Amino acid sequence: MKTYKIALIKGDGIGPEIIDEATKVLDSVASCFDFDFKYEEVLMGGCAYDETGDPLPQETITAALSSDAVLFGAIGGEKWDSLPREKRPESGLLRFRKELGVYANLRPAVVYDELINASSLKPDVIAGVDLMVVRELIGGIYFGEPKGRDENKGWNTMVYTKDEIVRIAHTAFNIAMERSKRVCSVDKANVLDVSQLWRETVEEVAKEYPDVELSHMYVDNAAMQLIRDPKQFDVMLTGNIFGDILSDEASMLSGSIGLLPSASVGSKIGVYEPIHGSAPDIAGQGIANPIATISSASMMLRYALGEVEAANRIDAAIKKALKEGYRTQDLAQHDAKEVCSTSEMGSIIANYTAK
């Protein structure tokens, strides 16, 4: 029997609630196969700051680097918003991604047929949407120097080196090769020098993938096109801040931010996490949608552990739960058979996974 070592970072807000459901489903699927999980729970974010004075204790980095994968909930909350920047939960998360070298954030946005009416867009616009945002994660304006502020001025710098663009472009083209072989690179090359380098470099990398069709789009247009005609996209390749915004936008195609998973991968250990934050407004109420996190666990099985069959099983169980009409409150509409709590939704998916 194979045992996978998973570093679990529950974090703040709804983080613990949604991670508990993901491990419930992972344990359930493992019981059908010849593997199990050994979880090591470590702290990050506001809870880590409260306990240790550091939002990213060294122990967490060490545990992550000695695991097979990291399953991550969410961090942050108002309680820690007034701390100096380096002590804030979000700084811990950025440092964590850098330490692990996870430069590529893969964010699939799929519209489930069962939820076609949950989106704020018309069914014929979103039916069949299946796109992947490939976001550069450890460069760009969130990390660029110089940055700072004084009383009257605040400044950040958007920087990309050629090497950083080359490696994320390869990720996007390789993913496109497994999908519909189309990459749309999103930038702001009409205004930003950094985007001009981005565009030229992506063009160069594209020569190595003659089967993939490359197009370019300015980010403002991409934001509009995602709403106007999302089916035109297969793989969207973009930098850190543009990808952050576009993937949240893409989440609304599917009906709720509580549905979308992500995988952050690079040269070392991958981090699997929902795209949403710690949702302090609903924390502790048992109403958070755990599907984004359960789906992230499925991506972990698929990409980090190579357990494709188990991942397919979880994906099918999520679909079945939705098809049967089970909905958490964020998705509850007239078509809901039953409005479930976070834990009920986790249990339903876990049961379907085991069957």
Closest distance to ligand NAD from the beta carbon of 41 (Å)? 16
Choose the catalytic residue: 248, 303, 319, 320: 248
Both structure tokens of 233: 């996209």
Residue 269: strand, helix, or coil? coil
Q: What is the CB neighbour count within 10 angstroms for residue 117?
A: 11
Judged by CB under 6 A, which of 28, 105, 247, 278 binds ligand NAD? 278
Bridge pairing between strands 154-155 and 148-149: antiparallel
Q: Extract the tokens encoding 38.
A: 């050994």
Residues 6 or more apart whose Cβ sits within 8 Å of residue 21: 290, 293, 294, 342, 343, 345, 346, 349, 350
The verdict on whether 162 is a catalytic residue reads no
Residue closer to ligand NAD by CB (options 307, 346) is 346
252's CB contacts (< 8 A; 6+ apart) are 119, 120, 121
By CB under 6 A, tell whether 111 contacts ligand NAD: no
| Contact region with ligand NAD (CB under 6 A), list: 33-41, 73-81, 146-154, 220-228 | 73-81
Q: Is 105 in the site for ligand NAD (CB under 6 A)?
A: no
Which of 55, 57, 277, 346 touches ligand NAD by CB under 6 A? 277
For helices 89-100 and 58-65, the axis angle rounded to 10 degrees is 40
Stretch that binds ligand NAD, among 31-39, 102-110, 174-182, 272-280 (CB under 6 A): 272-280
Amino acid (one-letter) located at 71: L
CA torsion sign for 254, 286, 315, 211 is: positive
Q: Which residue among 16, 55, 57, 76 contacts ligand NAD (CB under 6 A)?
A: 76
Question: Does position 330 bind ligand NAD by CB under 6 A?
Answer: yes
Would you say 263 and 102 are in contact if contact means Cβ atoms under 8 Å apart?
no
Using the structure block, give the residue that is written with the tokens 């039953």.
338
Q: Does 280 bind ligand NAD (CB under 6 A)?
A: yes
Catalytic residue among 188, 272, 326, 330: 188
Is there a catalytic annotation at residue 112? Answer: no
Which of 195, 342 has the CB closer to ligand NAD? 342
> 12, 187, 234, 244: which one is catalytic?
244
Total residues contacting ligand NAD by CB under 6 A comes to: 21
**Please, which residue, 202 or 297, has the CB nearer to ligand NAD?**
297
Residue ranges in 240-259 that form contacts with ligand NAD under rule CB under 6 A: 257-258
Q: Is 128 left (phi over 0), alpha (psi -120 to 50) or beta?
A: left
User: Mind telling me the catalytic residues?
Assistant: 142, 188, 220, 244, 248
